[in-house]
Amino acid sequence: MRKFAAERSRYLLAHTNDFSSVLQHPTASLYSSSSRSLKSQLLLRFLNTTAAPNPSSSDSMASDYSSAPVKLDSINPKVLECEYAVRGEIVTLAQKLQEELKKNPGSHPFDEILYCNIGNPQSLGQQPITFFREVLALCDHPAILDKAETQGLFSADSIERAFQILDQIPGRATGAYSHSQGIKGLRDTIAAGIEARDGFPADPNDIFLTDGASPAVHMMMQLLIRSKNDGILCPIPQYPLYSASIALHGGTLVPYYLDEATGWGLEISDLKNQLETAKSRGISVRALVVINPGNPTGQVLAENNQQQIVDFCKKEGLVLLADEVYQENIYVPDKQFHSFKKVARSMGYGEKDISLVSFQSVSKGYYGECGKRGGYMEVTGFSPEIREQIYKVASVNLCSNISGQILASLVMNPPKVGDESYESYSAEKDAILSSLARRAKKLEEAFNGLEGVTCNRAEGAMYLFPRIELPKKAIEAAKAVNTAPDAFYARLLLNATGIVVVPGSGFGQVPGTWHFRCTILPQEDRIPAIISRLTEFHKGFMDEFRG
């Protein structure tokens, strides 16, 4: 039975890859296939990629699944509801095209797929920081620390740091579950790093080390959301982890719009309005999410703006959820990162005045260690009872991965002046950050040079979020194939150039406006090619749809 069924599943999976088209009902409008215009070429490509699989052969088997205990209509609807565009439809298509290129080189007008959809630096050639990896390797295999030959392979200070860290782990057992908040010694290091950064003390007991920042966000949503009547204020556009997490936990997203015209600024009056509107609908708003530097928008908040936000949260009794994972990614000299904790403390607000959670991750910055899964949340201004509950939820999973914990401590306490590895570490870090700044600038200029496209500068983070004025004709063509206009654009872009971006609708945008998010992460030497391909495509697109 198992053998038969496994084959069956394999068949079905292979033939229902583009599941989104199966779930929707694409109404394909017909364009003459004899026309050689770019438009129809583009559209034919488009239609081909949305072709629904042939369901007829599965009819006889379909009845086998009617008795399956868990079906589409009986799984948790919150799971169905949540969306994560960063790895959505466009990416699935890109992977399909990549397979096709592999099997049949030359089958597309491009040689390779360029993934500009996800903040995954090391998948695009960025190198890890050597010192960090040296320490991690030694901690993964402490047995070699006693060998003389090891000194020939590793820098002296990485060996020293490994010893230091291992001494903080009982029995030097990096394979053992740690304290559910993370190894105490590492939390001490992180707290010291926070203090050095902000100039205000941090308590290691406020720190919860997690497998990346995302699990920490989920934990907070779980605590805060009791029902659909609980709302969380989120910026629009936002990183869709928030909308997805809120949906998954059964809450309500209360949007506040960032102002594109003022570099994605945040207006307190808008926050107030959204809060009041939500309240009038019976929503109890529990928290405010702020992403600083912003994703996808890349803005770095001005300090006085941050002060207004802190005051707002304090006054309204909202928990301030500060996503600060891009704190090391700042590209403009006129802006600086200030943690919300620093801002709050500078205003004289302490533990009793404001509930604040700060999220940090090892996935971004100049280290870009997405696959290691490291991060933490610093939780301040909560009662001991709440802290106990947070601890309890953290303990069900026992602990986060130790390697990720160690990495988080390295990120918050990197080599210092005078350390043997300082110079090489510094050189690596500066090279990466200055390159990111250059790429951000180049791509921003390129986007602004396109007809009908405006793009705010990326002050920080890893993305550009250009806005396209799509001509009426394009919007209509998109409607005709039952696709959002920005997704329509993104799909055509992919088919023509191999460049993968994420449609703005995945992040939220003012209705009637269209954007896409493009990362600044492809290696610097690929940027000119990306720009020229994109420019050429865009010109063709506008020629066809300008009307």
Partner 1 sequence: MSSKSLDYENLNENVKKCQYAVRGELYLRASELQKEGKKIIFTNVGNPHALGQKPLTFPRQVVALCQAPFLLDDPNVGLVFPADAIARAKHYLSMTSGGLGAYSDSRGLPGIRKEVAEFIERRDGYPSDPELIFLTGGASIGVMQILNTIIRGAHDGILVPVPQYPLYSATISLLGGSFVPYYLEETANWGLDIGNLRQSVTQARSQGITISVLNVALAYLVYLCICDKVRAMVIINPGNPTGQCLSEANLKKDTITPYIEILFNAHPFMLLQWRRYTRFSISLSPNVSGQIFMGLMVSPPKPGDISYERYVRESKGILESLRRRARIMTDGFNSCRNVVCNFTEGAMYSFPQIRLPPKAIEAAKSAGKVADVFYCLKLLEATGISTVPGSGFGQKEGVFHLRTTILPAEEDMPAIMASFNKFNDEFMEQYETRGLFKDVKRNGETSTCCLHKLASPEKQLASPPSLIPTFM
Residue among 37 and 123 whose Cβ is closer to partner 1: 123
Cα torsion angle, 397, 403, 406, 411, sign: negative
Closest approach, Cβ 491 to partner 1, in A, equals 18
Whether a cis peptide bond, with omega within 30° of 0, leads into 293 is yes
DSSP string, 111-143: SS-EE-SS--GGGGTPPPPHHHHHHHHHHH-GG
Residue among 153 and 196 whose Cβ is closer to partner 1: 153
Cα 518 to Cα 464, 488, 530, distances in angstroms: 5, 15, 11
Residue among 330 and 354 whose Cβ is closer to partner 1: 354
Residue among 175 and 199 whose Cβ is closer to partner 1: 175
Closest approach, Cβ 272 to partner 1, in A, equals 15
Closest approach, Cβ 56 to partner 1, in A, equals 15
Closest approach, Cβ 266 to partner 1, in A, equals 21
Closest CA relative to residue 534, chosen from 504, 498, 503: 498
Closest approach, Cβ 60 to partner 1, in A, equals 14
Side chain identity at residue 509, one-letter code? Q
Q: What's the token pair of residue 240?
A: 């869709």
Closest approach, Cβ 546 to partner 1, in A, equals 36
Contacts of 152 (CB under 8 A, 6+ apart): none
Closest approach, Cβ 3 to partner 1, in A, equals 6
Q: How far is the C-alpha of 400 from the C-alpha of 67, rounded, in Å?
A: 39
> With helix as H, strand as E and coil as C, how does 332-347 read?
CCCCCCCCHHHHHHHC
Q: How far is the C-alpha of 258 from the C-alpha of 510, rounded, in Å?
A: 9
Residue among 182 and 240 whose Cβ is closer to partner 1: 240
Closest approach, Cβ 474 to partner 1, in A, equals 28
**Phi-psi map region of 398: left, alpha, beta (phi>0 left; psi -120 to 50 alpha):** left
Closest approach, Cβ 465 to partner 1, in A, equals 19
- Report the run of H or E that residue 303 belongs to, with start and end: helix 303-316
Residue among 17 and 535 whose Cβ is closer to partner 1: 17
Residue among 120 and 308 whose Cβ is closer to partner 1: 120
Q: How far is the C-alpha of 264 from the C-alpha of 236, rounded, in Å?
A: 10
- Report the run of H or E that residue 515 belongs to, with start and end: strand 514-519
CB 297 within 8 A of CB 264: yes
CB 307 within 8 A of CB 347: yes
Tokens 């802006």 label which residue?
335
Helix axes 422-448, 130-140, angle to 10 degrees: 120
Closest approach, Cβ 291 to partner 1, in A, equals 16
Residue among 59 and 385 whose Cβ is closer to partner 1: 385
Closest approach, Cβ 275 to partner 1, in A, equals 11
Helix axes 402-411, 184-198, angle to 10 degrees: 20
Residue among 234 and 300 whose Cβ is closer to partner 1: 234
Closest approach, Cβ 217 to partner 1, in A, equals 10
Residue among 42 and 254 whose Cβ is closer to partner 1: 254
CB 534 within 8 A of CB 496: no
Closest approach, Cβ 408 to partner 1, in A, equals 13
Residue among 468 and 500 whose Cβ is closer to partner 1: 500
Q: How far is the C-alpha of 445 from the C-alpha of 427, rounded, in Å?
A: 27
Residue among 40 and 120 whose Cβ is closer to partner 1: 120
Closest CA relative to residue 288, chosen from 329, 327, 342, 340: 340
Q: Could you give the dihedral angle defined by the CA atoms of residues 278, 279, 282 and 285, in that order, rounded to the nearest 10 degrees? A: 80
CB 117 within 8 A of CB 463: no
Q: How far is the C-alpha of 136 from the C-alpha of 410, rounded, in Å?
A: 9
Residue among 204 and 471 whose Cβ is closer to partner 1: 204
Q: How far is the C-alpha of 353 from the C-alpha of 350, rounded, in Å?
A: 5
For 4, phi then psi, to 5°, come to: -60, -50
